[in-house]
Amino acid sequence: MGRQTLFHALKEDCEEMFSFIREHGMVAAVERDTDTNDIVDLTMPCASKSPLMLWKTEIGTLLQRDHIERSVRPYFRVPYRAGLEFCPSLKSEWKGCPGLTQGRIYVNTDQPNESLLLWYSGITRWIRARWNRCPVPLSGYVGPNAMQWHLNGGLLLPTFQPPDTPEWRRFFKNQIANPVKDA
């Protein structure tokens, strides 16, 4: 179990959020899953297209990877108990229209860590205070640059690339300047 805050954020929105996050201590941003046990702090986390783990010493956890053994392609993962998961919004397309998937900040609450929960709460308070609620029937927030992009015709997608079905065409009909006809 855990808590998450969903959002749509362009690179500029993400960089503003990371500026806030890094104002409050040294923060490491590392890829959540990798082929090696190496811990590499990303200097440009907003350029990442894969889930990251955010970590700082003040939360009292260890930044290390667990080996995930599988018969096909084993890998290494930073466990959720170590920090906050950050999944970036990704630019995409849906039926030829530019789209942006939802990202998220997630904290695992299975093994409560008060410092980790406070850090998560501070970030989500910052998001709620500065970003708009999602204007389409998805939960979460939209950064100011992503909102302008949406108002100029970009689609706000869920956390995944939706299939082309009658239900999704109806969902996106109001977001598209030239609505897709139901088949």
Element (H, E) at 16: helix 11-23
Residue-wise burial string across 93-131, b where 16 or more C-beta atoms lie within 10 A, e elsewhere: ebeebebbbbbbbbbbeeeebeebbebbeebbebbeeeb
pLDDT the model gives residue 179: 42
Residue 59 within any structural domain of the chain: yes
pLDDT the model gives residue 72: 86
Residue 6 within any structural domain of the chain: yes
Q: What is the pTM of this model?
A: 0.90
Residue 102 within any structural domain of the chain: yes
DSSP character string of 44-99: -GGG--S-EEEE-GGG------EEE--SSS-EEE--GGGSEEEE---EEEETTEEE
Residues in the chain with pLDDT < 50? 178-183
CA atoms of 154 and 66, how far apart (whole Å): 38
Residue 42 within any structural domain of the chain: yes
CA atoms of 102 and 11, how far apart (whole Å): 13
CA atoms of 131 and 172, how far apart (whole Å): 22
Residue 181 within any structural domain of the chain: no
Residue 30 within any structural domain of the chain: yes
Range of the domain at 140: 2-173
Residue 178 within any structural domain of the chain: no
68-84 tens-digit pLDDT:
998 788 999 999 989 99
Query: How many residues are given for the chain?
Result: 183
pLDDT the model gives residue 2: 92
pLDDT the model gives residue 173: 86
Residue 180 within any structural domain of the chain: no
**Percentages (nearest 5) of helix, strand, coil residues in the chain:** 30, 25, 45
CA atoms of 136 and 176, how far apart (whole Å): 12
Number of domains within the chain: 1
